[in-house]
Structure 1
Amino acid sequence: MTVASIPEPGASRPDTGLLLIYGGTFDPVHNGHLAIARRARDELNAPVRLMPAADPPHRPPPGADARQRTHMLELATAGEPGLQVDRRELRRAARQPGVPSWTVDTLREIRAEIGTTAPVALLMGADSLLGLPTWHAWEHLLDLAHLVIADRPGNALDGQLPEVLAARLRDAWAVDAACLRERPAGWVWRLHQPLQAESATAVRGLIAAGGDWRGLVPGAVATYIAAHGLYGCATA
């Protein structure tokens, strides 16, 4: 089976391989983000589109602005086979200033491009899954894509899920990864990964405090943060 891609305009038909979408603020992108993307790419043998969120319309950027966050993401994925940055949420925000960029709208846009038969999966962390009932139109996400959950032993998925979420996912847990290629959407798959200590919050805190943070992000990203004085980093 071939690898899924979003075709150029005029393509004759959609590809039928699996496409993974990994959205987030990436503020900044760190080694933990890359570990999840690589593990999903390798275990599922599928390309990963890392999709930075646009700046919130009604408050200042969370740390770096969308242009800076996207540039750091491109630095981090340069030369990484199967990892690619997708700017669609930024483009949509530019077309529709002040309009929230909902994940469900992103998936609908992708479906309009690749059709309804190609399998698509949304890659997210376990904490994001637990917060899913707070997302806009979250009940429709599984109609548009599979969910791949970056999981590790001892996280909250091993306990009791919120009732409304458990009810929605009751018959959706895939028995193996091959299920994700058998239909376009609807399965939830737990992607087991090694423990990663990095978090964007921790990285920002270490930078602001003058701590030892450079080893938590790719080298090119560390250089960019320092050169631009992001997150309170003192420039030379």
Structure 2
Amino acid sequence: MASTPGARRVGVLGGTFDPVHIGHLRGALEVAEMFGLDEVRLVPNFRPPHRETPHSSAQDRLAMVRLAVQDLPPLTVDARELERDRPSYTVETLESLRSEMGADVQLFLIVGWDAFCGLPGWHRWDELLDHCHMLVMQRPDADSEAPEALRDLLAARSVSDPQAMSGSAGQISFAWQAPLGVSATRIRQFLASGRSVRFLVPDTVLAYINAHGLYRASN
């Protein structure tokens, strides 16, 4: 299905954002610029099925993401997974977005290489491309092969040039991205030990963390 000329292009980037940091924000901005996306929605997970329970509450994580993107168009926040109050399944989020946006909008699910290789363990993973395209961000050191369960899918659905992805859903493409050397785990460790995380998170997020005493050793 060919896409409608001038169709809206929306990226979807999920995560616990525990806390949101400059790696998330810089990566999302780069994707928006590289692929001409009109919007990139950061979607905080309520309770991701494949990861540990977040250290801070859904309310705190949502507040921090909203503070982080308030002056960063085209980044926005989508709180629908937090409103479900149960484990977050990406396919359900995509179904909901597609229902709201209609058939012509190009949806792009943004995932890292590690997450992509883990797709066969996701809930209804074989239905994801019914609702979106997939942009896989590879690190320079991501030289491992995709698991066998994904090889037929890649053979049938991959597009070498991300700019050539057509239609509203159904294709996979890869792009190289050099990530910043920062992680939420490291930030939480720094905070728990009393070290500064200035410049690893936006100042507004740091102010929120300090005001609410998040990630301290007693938490």
Structure 1 length normalisation: TM-score? 0.83
Residue aligning to 1:215: 199
Tell me if the contact between 1:27 and 1:63 (Cα under 8 Å) persists in the aligned partners: yes
Cα deviation digits, residues 77-121 of structure 1 (max 9, x gap): 01111010011112233xxxxx43211011111111122232111
Higher relative contact order (CA 8 A, sep 6+): 2
Q: Which runs of 5+ in 1 are unaligned?
A: 1-14, 94-98
Equivalent residues in 2 for 1:17-96, closer than 5 Å: 17-46=8-37, 47-55=39-47, 61-93=53-85
Question: 2:216 corresponds to which residue?
Answer: 232
Provide the rounded CA distance (Å) in 2 between the counterparts of 1:164 and 1:177: 22
Equivalent position of 1:128 in the other structure: 115
Q: Hey, what's the Cα distance between the residues in 1 that align with 2:48 and 2:128?
A: 21
- The 5 Å alignment of 1:78-117 reads 78-93=70-85, 99-117=86-104
Match 2:162 to one of 171, 177, 193: 177
- Aligned Cα root-mean-square deviation (Å): 2.1
Per-residue Cα deviation, 1:58-77 (whole angstroms, up to 9, x for no partner)? xx951111110010001110
Percent of aligned pairs with the same amino acid:
40
Following superposition, the deviation at residue 51 of structure 1 comes to 0.7
Structure 2 residue runs of 5 or longer lacking an equivalent are 1-5
Match of 1:199 in 2: 183
- Judging changes above 3 Å, is the alpha-carbon distance between structure 1 residues 112 and 195 closer, same or farther for their aligned structure 2 residues? closer
- The list of structure 1 runs, each at least 4 consecutive aligned residues, that deviate by more than 6 angstroms after superposition, is none
Equivalent pair of 1:55/1:65 in contact (CA under 8 Å): no
Q: Compute the displacement of 1:166 (Å).
A: 2.0
Does 1:162 pair with 2:147?
A: yes
Which of 115, 132, 152 is the aligned partner of 2:139?
A: 152
Q: 1:206 to 1:164 in 2, by over 3 A?
A: same
TM-score, structure 2 normalization: 0.89
Once the 2 structures are TM-superposed, how far is the Cα of residue 184 of structure 1 from its aligned partner? 1.1
The whole-number CA distance in structure 1 between the counterparts of 2:152 and 2:195 is 44
| SS of equivalent to 1:140 | helix
The CA deviation at 1:152 is: 1.9
**How far apart are the structure 1 equivalents of 2:140 and 2:48?**
33
